[in-house]
Chains A and B, each alone.
Chain A
Amino acid sequence: MSQPNSNEESVVSVRTMEIVTAALFAIVALVVMYDSSRVGAGWASDGPEAGYFPFYVGLIMLVSSGVILVSNLLNKAPKAATFVERGQLKLVVSVLVPTIVFVAVIGFLGIYVAAAIFIAFFMSWLGKYPVVKILPIAILIPLALFVMFEIWFLVPLPKGPVETFFGY
Chain B
Amino acid sequence: MNLMHGFGVLADPMNIVYMFVGITLGVLIGVLPGLGGANGVAILLPLTFSMSPTSAIIMLSCIYWGALFGGAITSVLFNIPGEPWSVATTFDGHPMAQQGRAGEALTAAFTSSFFGAFLAVILITFLAPVIAGFALRFGPAEFFAVQLLTFCSFVGMGKESPFKVLTAMMLGFALAAVGLDTVTGQLRMTFGTIELLRGFDFLIAVIGLFGIGEILLTMEEGLAFKGKSARINPAVVLHTWKQLPKYWITALRGSIVGCWMGITPGGATPASFMSYGLAKRFSRNGARFGTGEIEGVVAPETAAHAAGTSALLPMLTLGIPGSPTAAVLLGGLLIWGLQPGPLLFVEQKEFVWGLIASMYLGNVVGLIVVLTTVPLFASILRIPFSIIAPIIIVICAVGAYTVHNAFMDIAVMLVFGVLGYVFKKLSYPLAPLVLALVLGDMAESSFRQAMLLSQGDLAIFWSNPLVGSIVTLALAMLFWPVISLAIGRFRGSPAAPVSVK
Chain B residues within an 8 Å CB radius of A47: 448, 451-452
Residue of A nearest to B400 (CB): A103
Min C-beta distance of B398 to chain A, whole Å:
6
Across the interface, do A127 and B451 meet the contact criterion of CB distance under 8 Å? no
Bitwise interface map of A from 5 to 39 toward B, beta carbon under 8 Å scored 1, else 0: 10000000010011001100100110110011001
Q: How many A-B residue pairs have CB under 8 A?
A: 185
Chain A residues within an 8 Å CB radius of B171: 25, 28, 61
Across the interface, do A50 and B224 meet the contact criterion of CB distance under 8 Å? no
Interface of A (DSSP majority class): helix
B401 beta carbon closer than 8 Å to chain A: yes
Chain B residues within an 8 Å CB radius of A92: 216, 219-220, 421
Known: A60-B166, A91-B222, A107-B407. A155 touches B501 (CB 8 A): no
Chain B residues within an 8 Å CB radius of A22: 167
Interface of B (DSSP majority class): helix
Min C-beta distance of A28 to chain B, whole Å:
7
Across the interface, do A91 and B219 meet the contact criterion of CB distance under 8 Å? yes
Chain B residues within an 8 Å CB radius of A103: 397, 410-411, 414
Across the interface, do B390 and A122 meet the contact criterion of CB distance under 8 Å? yes
Chain B residues within an 8 Å CB radius of A35: 188-189, 191
B163 in complex: contacting residue of A64, A91, A99, A142, CB < 8 Å: A64
Min C-beta distance of B388 to chain A, whole Å:
10
Specify which of A121, A126, A142 lies most central, judged by the most chain B CB atoms within 10 Å of its CB: A126
B444 in complex: contacting residue of A53, A60, A71, A115, CB < 8 Å: A53
Residue of B nearest to A149 (CB): B398
Across the interface, do B216 and A96 meet the contact criterion of CB distance under 8 Å? yes
Chain A residues within an 8 Å CB radius of B484: none
B387 beta carbon closer than 8 Å to chain A: yes
Across the interface, do B390 and A61 meet the contact criterion of CB distance under 8 Å? no
Task: Mark out the residues of chain A between 99 and 140 whose CB falls within 8 Å of any chain B CB in the assembled complex.
Answer: 99-100, 102-103, 106-107, 111, 115, 118-119, 121-123, 126-127, 129, 137
B38 beta carbon closer than 8 Å to chain A: no
A5–B32 Cα distance when bound, in Å, is 35
Chain A residues within an 8 Å CB radius of B177: 32, 53-54, 57
Across the interface, do A58 and B390 meet the contact criterion of CB distance under 8 Å? no
Known: A47-B452, A51-B188, A119-B390. A21 touches B426 (CB 8 A): yes
Known: A1-B221, A39-B186, A107-B407. A71 touches B500 (CB 8 A): yes
Min C-beta distance of B95 to chain A, whole Å:
14
Chain B residues within an 8 Å CB radius of A115: 394, 397
A167 beta carbon closer than 8 Å to chain B: no
A47–B394 Cα distance when bound, in Å, is 46
A168–B313 Cα distance when bound, in Å, is 43
Residue of A nearest to B29 (CB): A153
Task: Mark out the residues of chain B between 444 and 476 whose CB falls within 8 Å of any chain A CB in the assembled complex.
Answer: 444, 447-448, 451-452, 456
Across the interface, do A123 and B222 meet the contact criterion of CB distance under 8 Å? no
A148 beta carbon closer than 8 Å to chain B: yes
A67 beta carbon closer than 8 Å to chain B: yes
Task: Mark out the residues of chain A between 63 and 101 whose CB falls within 8 Å of any chain B CB in the assembled complex.
Answer: 64-65, 67-68, 71-72, 75, 83-84, 88, 91-92, 94-96, 99-100
Min C-beta distance of B106 to chain A, whole Å:
22
Across the interface, do B43 and A155 meet the contact criterion of CB distance under 8 Å? yes
Min C-beta distance of A104 to chain B, whole Å:
9
Across the interface, do A18 and B426 meet the contact criterion of CB distance under 8 Å? yes
A161 beta carbon closer than 8 Å to chain B: no
A129–B393 Cα distance when bound, in Å, is 19
Task: Mark out the residues of chain A between 141 and 163 whose CB falls within 8 Å of any chain B CB in the assembled complex.
Answer: 141-142, 145, 148-149, 153-158
Min C-beta distance of B183 to chain A, whole Å:
7
Bitwise interface map of B from 30 to 57 toward A, beta carbon under 8 Å scored 1, else 0: 0010010000000100000000000000
Min C-beta distance of A66 to chain B, whole Å:
9
Across the interface, do A36 and B188 meet the contact criterion of CB distance under 8 Å? yes
Across the interface, do A95 and B397 meet the contact criterion of CB distance under 8 Å? no
What would 7 A/B residue contacts be, using CB atoms closer than 8 Å? A4-B223, A29-B170, A39-B188, A95-B215, A106-B410, A123-B386, A157-B402
Given A32-B174, A103-B397, A103-B414, output 11 extra A-B contacts at Cβ < 8 Å. A4-B224, A5-B222, A17-B425, A17-B426, A29-B170, A48-B452, A54-B189, A58-B170, A118-B394, A119-B391, A149-B402
